[in-house]
Structure 1
Amino acid sequence: MSVENTFEQLTMKMNQDPSHLDGLSYVYQFDLSGSDEGKYQLKVENNQAEFKLGEPWEPRLTLAMSDKNFIKLANDDLNPTMAYMSGKLKVQGDLGHALKLQALIKKYQ
């Protein structure tokens, strides 16, 4: 599965059941390296989720990793704490919100 397909699946699940998005207003940026390399953003606002390629919004948290590790993270196959400690994941911004993102992703598996 490609990065874009992964984002499409994740945002579709979030929008079909927005109960876990209540009260969230956040922009996550993903700086990915690899075959699907690029910058992607996930915006959660007003109980809706959407993603865009590029940097259309001001991110509050940036996660840098390989595209393969992003797909693993989105499928809950990568422990974000271990990835961070081993250097596979770099975080700019509030580390607590990175952990909240992982909890959110788990709810949509």
Structure 2
Amino acid sequence: MTVEQTLRALSEKINANPHAIQGFHAIYHFLLSGDDGGQYQVTFAGNHATYSKGTPDEAKCTLELSDANFIKLVEGTLNPTAAFMLGKLKINGDIGHSLKLQTILNAYQS
């Protein structure tokens, strides 16, 4: 699965049942290295999730990791705390928002 396929699937899951993002508004940037890397933006607003390539808006939180680790993070096979401690994940900005993102991802992992 590619990064864009992963983001599309996550957005579809969230938008089909937005219980974990009710009333939450935030923008996240993902700076991904690797063959399928790039810059991506995920926005939660109006009980809806969207993603785009690039980082056009200001984010509350920026996460830097490899494309492979990003997919593992979304799928729930990468522990974000362990990844952070091992240097596989770098977080810039509001740490509280990174914790909220973890809660959101956990709610939509199957």
Q: CA deviation at 1:83?
A: 0.4
Q: 1:5-39: per-residue Cα shift (whole Å, max 9, x none)? A: 00000000000001211111000100000011110
CA distance in structure 2 between the partners assigned to 1:95 and 1:55 by the alignment: 19
Segments of 4+ moved more than 6 angstroms: none
- Matched-pair identity in %: 48
Q: How does 1:65-84 map to 2 (within 5 A)?
A: 65-84=65-84
TM-score (norm 2): 0.96
CA distance in structure 2 between the partners assigned to 1:82 and 1:20 by the alignment: 23
Match of 2:12 in 1: 12
Match of 1:91 in 2: 91
Q: Which runs of 5+ in 2 are unaligned?
A: none
Counterpart code for 1:81 = T
Q: Which runs of 5+ in 1 are unaligned?
A: none
CA distance in structure 2 between the partners assigned to 1:98 and 1:66 by the alignment: 17
Counterpart code for 1:53 = K
**Equivalent pair of 2:60/2:97 in contact (CA under 8 Å):** no
Q: CA deviation at 1:79?
A: 0.5
